[in-house]
Amino acid sequence: MVLFGFFELFVLIPMLFWISLSLQARRLRDIGWEPVFVIPAWVVAMAIDLTMAQSGPKLWMLPFAGPTILGWLIILLTEVCLLFWPGRTYAADDFLTLESPAERAPKPTTAAPAATRPARRPSPASPAGAGFGRRGL
């Protein structure tokens, strides 16, 4: 019985791995963490956990093969952070330029009277007051 065919092994699995990795990197960037450091640190933690599971005492092991209890706690903590950590809110102007808001130079202000200035609408991506879990689930 063949578990994986050519298509699944060389096309589908790498494609799904790439999609998952890019979505996690996007979410990490959204919550303010740098994915260049977080993802390799997570891989190293899982490699250390696998080494502990293969060479250490079986007290940390669950009844089935896989990570140790410490590894499952690391995975759980990572997933909870990705799901529930509040992300940044974006203004509508942030999508009109290629620069990030931090890279923009402050512009000299010539304040117009409040009556002539147009009112700023909240962007549809971040409604007023929506900060918790708007991207999590």
The residue with greater pLDDT, 5 or 1, is: 5
- SS3 state at 61: strand
User: What is the rounded (10 degree) CA torsion for 81, 89, 101, 109?
Assistant: -150
Residues 82, 76: Cα–Cα separation, whole Å: 10
How many CB atoms within 10 Å of residue 79? 11
Among 29-38, 44-53, 73-82, 106-115, the least confident range:
106-115
Q: Is residue 116 part of a domain?
A: no
Q: Domain total for the chain?
A: 1
For the chain, give the percent of residues with pLDDT over 90. 28
35 occurs within a structural domain = yes
Is the pLDDT score of 30 beyond 50? yes
Q: Give a yes or no: residue 17 inside a domain.
A: yes
pLDDT band at 50 (very low <50, low <70, confident <90, very high): confident
Domain extent for 30: 6-87
Report the pLDDT value the prediction gives residue 6, as an integer from 0 to 100: 77
**Higher-pLDDT residue of 124, 6:** 6
Beta bridge partners of 68: 61
Q: Examine residue 33 and state whether it is found in any structural domain, yes or no.
A: yes
Residue 99 lies in a domain: no
